């Protein structure tokens, strides 16, 4: 068996020890004689798996008691509708910060339920940065302010938690959750799909301040009403049991690695290695590889870059694949290359990628 270095943006690589434990427990979870997939979600075994996963995540994120943790379904795109339905209340409009493809999707979906106000946008820069906080035109009467903490497609990340005053801050953290410590108390709501940095697709995390639980519009589907989900311990309807089990194993793996501070240090090291290679390419070797993202907004999770000559992208990716470095193709909207460096990507994977970049540059120089 050979495992590749998987740079997928999502669904993404999982830690190998997690996959091994899941394989071992596939037919018989801890003497139950059943696979987790075959258990009643209301039986004692799965209830223990659920409680353990929730307790570990609360601990990892140092989640205050003011906030409720919900395990839901529907993905981040589902939440783009579920959040406005639940948080609009008596308000009419929502403030958005537009930093790329995923914020655009959030804005379009919310416009079905509310007035949307784009308080700042980096569209004019080609979505290569986060608009500086002092340029945001916030409306103090807005239901909430929505940001996308990390734009998975463009590779643009907030290097700060914005202060938006008394209006709740809502963040789509799909692709950066658990990559570093977060001060949950600064957020009204955090949401994200699990398939980037946590576990398998199918599980959606929502962390919501308790005082925001009772604002849902009457049209909100019952299964997506935060109050209902909270009061039923995320079991109003059948939760994605297997995805929750795997996520629990990932939470345990992160704890064993030293928690979110350790993840942050490791992620910073991996990202620095790759961005240094990109910067050196420009400074020392005529810029075969370039990243367009503003330096202080560079994503640690999704590193996007281009080859100076777009025609070199295909041979670069083919050579990468031959070396076991896979799923590096950039999203079709931006093209080029995207290396996703989530928690499960080891430093060795980034080292192998940087070595292949240097080898490819040498080949191009020799051939030109």
Ligand X SMILES: *Cc1c(COP(=O)(O)O)cnc(C)c1O
Helix (H) or strand (E) holding 50: helix 44-60
Q: Is the dihedral of CA 316, 322, 323, 327 positive or negative?
A: positive
| Closer residue to ligand X (CB): 7 or 360 | 7
In angstroms, what is the minimal distance from the CB of 253 to ligand X? Answer: 21
Angle CA 178–180–185, to nearest 5: 85
Among 86, 121, 122, 175, binds ligand X (CB under 6 A): 175
In angstroms, what is the minimal distance from the CB of 252 to ligand X? Answer: 23
| Closer residue to ligand X (CB): 7 or 356 | 7
| C-beta nearest to ligand X: residue | 75
Binding-residue pattern over the window 113 to 152 for ligand X, x denoting contact by CB under 6 A: -----------------------------------x---x
In angstroms, what is the minimal distance from the CB of 10 to ligand X? Answer: 5
Active site residue 102: yes
Sheet holding 115-121, edge to edge: 67-72, 204-209, 189-193, 169-172, 145-148, 93-98, 115-121
Q: Which of 196, 252, 270, 329 is catalytic?
A: 196
Instruction: Give 93: exposed, middle or buried? Use CB within 10 Å, 0-12, 13-18, 19+.
Output: middle
Q: Which of 98, 102, 252, 270 is catalytic?
A: 102
Residues between 32 and 91 that touch ligand X (CB under 6 A): 75-77
Rounded alpha-carbon distances, angstroms, from residue 170 to 41, 162, 182: 30, 11, 13
Binding-residue pattern over the window 188 to 217 for ligand X, x denoting contact by CB under 6 A: -----x--x---------------------
Rounded alpha-carbon distances, angstroms, from residue 52 to 58, 126, 361: 10, 43, 48
Distance CA 150, CA 141 (A): 26
Residues of the shown chain interacting with ligand X in the complex, contacts defined by CB under 6 A = 10, 75-77, 102, 148, 152, 172, 174-175, 193, 196
Which residues does the annotation mark as catalytic? 102, 172, 196
């Amino acid at each position: 068996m050979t495992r590749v270095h998987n740079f997928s943006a999502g669904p993404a690589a999982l830690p190998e020890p997690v996959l091994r434990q899941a394989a071992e427990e596939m037919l018989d979870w801890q003497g139950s004689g059943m696979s987790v997939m075959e258990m009643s979600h209301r039986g004692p075994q799965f209830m223990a798996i659920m409680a353990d996963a929730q307790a570990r995540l609360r601990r990892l994120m140092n989640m205050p008691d003011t906030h409720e943790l919900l395990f839901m379904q529907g993905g981040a795109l589902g939440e783009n509708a579920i959040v406005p339905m639940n948080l609009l209340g008596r308000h009419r409009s929502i403030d958005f910060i537009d930093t790329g493809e995923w914020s655009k999707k959030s804005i379009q979906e919310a416009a079905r339920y509310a007035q949307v106000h784009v308080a700042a946008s980096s569209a004019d820069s080609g979505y290569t940065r986060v608009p500086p906080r002092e340029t945001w035109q916030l409306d103090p009467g807005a239901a909430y302010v929505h940001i996308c903490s990390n734009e998975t497609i463009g590779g643009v990340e907030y290097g700060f938690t914005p202060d938006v005053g008394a209006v709740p801050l809502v963040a789509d953290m799909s692709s950066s959750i658990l990559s570093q410590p977060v001060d949950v108390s600064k957020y009204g709501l955090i949401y994200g799909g699990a398939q980037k940095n946590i576990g398998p697709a199918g599980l959606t995390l929502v962390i919501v301040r308790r005082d925001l639980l009772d604002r849902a519009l009457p049209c909100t589907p019952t299964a997506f009403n935060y109050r209902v989900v909270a009061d039923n311990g995320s079991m109003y309807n059948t939760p994605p049991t297997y995805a929750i089990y795997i996520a629990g194993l990932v939470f345990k793996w992160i704890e064993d690695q030293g928690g979110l501070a350790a993840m942050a240090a490791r992620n910073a090291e991996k990202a620095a290695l790759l961005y240094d290679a990109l910067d050196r390419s420009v400074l020392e070797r005529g810029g075969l590889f370039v990243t367009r993202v503003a330096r202080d907004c560079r994503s640690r999770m999704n590193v996007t870059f281009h080859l100076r000559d777009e025609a070199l992208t295909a041979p670069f990716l083919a050579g990468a694949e031959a070396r076991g470095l896979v799923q590096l193709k950039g999203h079709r909207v931006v093209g080029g290359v995207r290396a996703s460096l989530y928690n499960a990507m080891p430093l060795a994977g980034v080292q192998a990628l940087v070595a292949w970049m240097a080898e490819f540059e040498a080949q191009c120089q020799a051939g030109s």
